[in-house]
Amino acid sequence: MSYIRLEQDSDGIIELVFDQPGVSVNTMGYDYIEAMQSAVAELAQRVADGGVRGVYLRSGKKSFFGGGDLKSLLQVPNEFSPEEADQQFAKIDEAKQPLRRLETLGVPVAVGINGSALGGGFEICLACHHRVAIDSKKLEVGLPEAQLGLLPGAGGICRTVRLFGLEKAIPWLSSGAKFKARAALEKGWVDQLAADEVEMHAKAKAWIMANPEARQPWDEKGFAIPGGSPADKQKSQALEGLIYFGPVGVMNNTNNNFPAPKAIFACAHDVAKVDFDTAQNIETRYFLNLMTSQTAKNMIRTFFFQLGDINNGASRPKLPRSELSKIGIIGAGQMGAGIAFAVAKTGLQVVLKDINQANADKGKGYAAAVCEKNRRIDAAGAERILGLIHPTAEAADLAGCDIVIEAVFEDRKIKAAVTAEVESAVGPQCIVASNTSALPITELAHASKRPQNFIGMHFFSPAEKMPLVEIISGEQTSDAALATAFDLAQRLGKTPIVVNDAPGFFTTRVIGTTISEGAAMVLEGINPVLIENAAKFNGSPVGPLAAIDEISQATAYKNGQQMQADAEAQGKTLPESAAAILVGRMVEEFDRQGKAFGGGYYDYPEKGTKRIWPGMKTHFAPEGYTEIPFEDIKDRLLFCQSIEAVRAMEEGVVERAADGNVGSIFGIGFPPNTGGVFQFINAYGVRAFAQRAQQLAERYGAQFTPPQLLWDMAERDAQFV
């Protein structure tokens, strides 16, 4: 069976059917290019011969088209010779020319979008004169290349700019926007919706029959780009502002860590000033440049392949999907209430329990406030969600729950009492999950009569928004419990990573290293502004000092005291870290307990932006700031996290690089341009990373000493997978 079939109906409409052999999703690889060139050449001949009234593109798969062949992009070198660049340019042009020829055949061209069409798949749709999509909540269309460090390279920028104008196109392209069917119709990405495939075919063909003279807008005489072109002498005020201030905004928002948004802005600007064929060549050159980018390779590997593997259940036991209907939440504070909202939003019943009815009702009130703030939830939707949340103080109401999540204080005794209370009220098959960020699950399971049903589910705050759930298996946790927790996380729209039990698990121990390293640099007398800016230049959303201010020094102080008490109870003594020393001084000496308490490392004026507390210099660098290379500051903040991730893998806490990469980005804000803690090492070069880590250890402390696993992998020239 060939990739493309051409089938002519009795009305003279030729159906071009994409049906790539041996795969479930059509992709834009070399076999596509060859098939498309041949198919369009045959179409052109048939049109020339007469009797063809139009062309209708559709898919023979459940989805329309999956985009470009990203596996081949990972093999592209980081540099091209001039000869290689010319060869690559020609290959990209080969993929684009059939689409240009298709839209200029001289007959109407429509497409039926029966499932998601993203990236290259939607670029095919843009080359059609009319787009009909099935009205399904599962269907998405768009050009998300920016989310993978790329830009649309098969005419997507040229056509989007001409279809929508620069003011609309640039924000959509630079953010990698995707739209569900109804939103796509509203915004003009598709022209019609259909209830099913039969209606989709009928509407598309009816449009072809009714529009024999159809052409692309940009092929009409006198066409002008909506909103104007940069070449126009009389630009609109909005367009002029976009052209002059837009690039500054891009640079400020990315700190130059993400080349794709910058390239997209420049490409869109340039293609809007020239004719279509010249614009195609410009787009190809920008795409060619991004192909060689290490950032693109990092993001493709993690956000496409590894995230895809996780979402497809690579870490999940091979068991049937869990049948879930009723979920219990213990603790109606912000975390518990946020989880309750997320559960109810999916249509599951929720029992939200606290020590008294007033607290439980307050938790439901939090969920009501979330509904009110969410513009996508109308009154009927809010009523449905809140109707599924049952606030209570009675443990008996937990009867019939499939899984109960406790979200109470990080205190072993309280959690043990809650576990006993839950197990007395639920059936023997119910899973009990502890929402804890650091307490070992195996130890917490000692309070359970059914430790095989006990598991950790570490949600991140605010739970209704954060995309990650860290699932922790204790020593006796069963595969069935793990599968159930995994299924619930996915039902909530979260990405679940799976790790094994240890103090701090994976995310908490990794983020703890950069907070501690930031504290160590403060105690060394390094300017806090440089520390925070180094994190931002790395690509982190906030610096380590801002992060602990948000958590609050008070919370960190209490957690530190709890960890020390836990260690002493086991006959151990924890070494006092730089973070513990600094937080202790901030709380005890200066009463600087964090943002929620009026100020910590930062001051938070009522009017104006936050600023570093002047006392940071007075108390920690009274004789002037210590100077070290800025590159060292940047590396200290990144290397400490990746080294700790390697230690966690060495200890068996995390088994797959995918879980570590995705968890570090989605859970703790590791710079996404790096691809995560393990991909950062891969891209740096494992041997070079180990050598640089050893250099940092000699300068700044044993925390940077490379683990043996790192040296072993460097010796084998292996990568983390």
Rounded Cα–Cα distance for residues 283 and 156 (Å): 9
Structure tokens at 61: 């798969």
Please tell me the number of Cα atoms within 13 Å of 529 on its side-chain side.
Answer: 9
CB 353 within 8 A of CB 332: yes
Rounded Cα–Cα distance for residues 204 and 495 (Å): 37
Start-to-end Cα distance in the chain:
35
CB 310 within 8 A of CB 659: yes
Rounded Cα–Cα distance for residues 553 and 601 (Å): 9
List the beta bridge partners of residue 360: none
Neighbours of 541 (CB within 10 A): 12
Rounded Cα–Cα distance for residues 1 and 20 (Å): 8
Helix/strand/coil for 130? strand
- Angle, CA of 391, 392 and 397, to the nearest 5°: 110
Phi and psi torsions of 615, nearest 5°:
-65, -15
Rounded Cα–Cα distance for residues 216 and 222 (Å): 12
Using the Cα atoms of residue 303, residue 305, residue 311 and residue 314 in order, give the sign of their dihedral.
negative
For 60-168, strand residue ranges (E) read: 109-113, 117-118, 130-134, 140-142
Is 458 tagged catalytic?
yes
Using the Cα atoms of residue 20, residue 23, residue 29 and residue 34 in order, give the sign of their dihedral.
negative
CB 510 within 8 A of CB 667: no
CB 199 within 8 A of CB 135: no
Which of 129, 130, 201, 458 is flagged as catalytic?
Answer: 458
Residue with tokens 């806490």: 653
CB 171 within 8 A of CB 143: no
Helix/strand/coil for 652? coil
Q: In 165-232, which residue ranges form alpha helices assigned H by DSSP?
A: 166-175, 181-187, 197-210
Strands 13-18 and 4-8: antiparallel
- Angle, CA of 576, 577 and 580, to the nearest 5°: 85
CB 206 within 8 A of CB 109: no
DSSP 38: H
Structure tokens at 409: 């204080």
Rounded Cα–Cα distance for residues 404 and 398 (Å): 8
Active site residues: 458
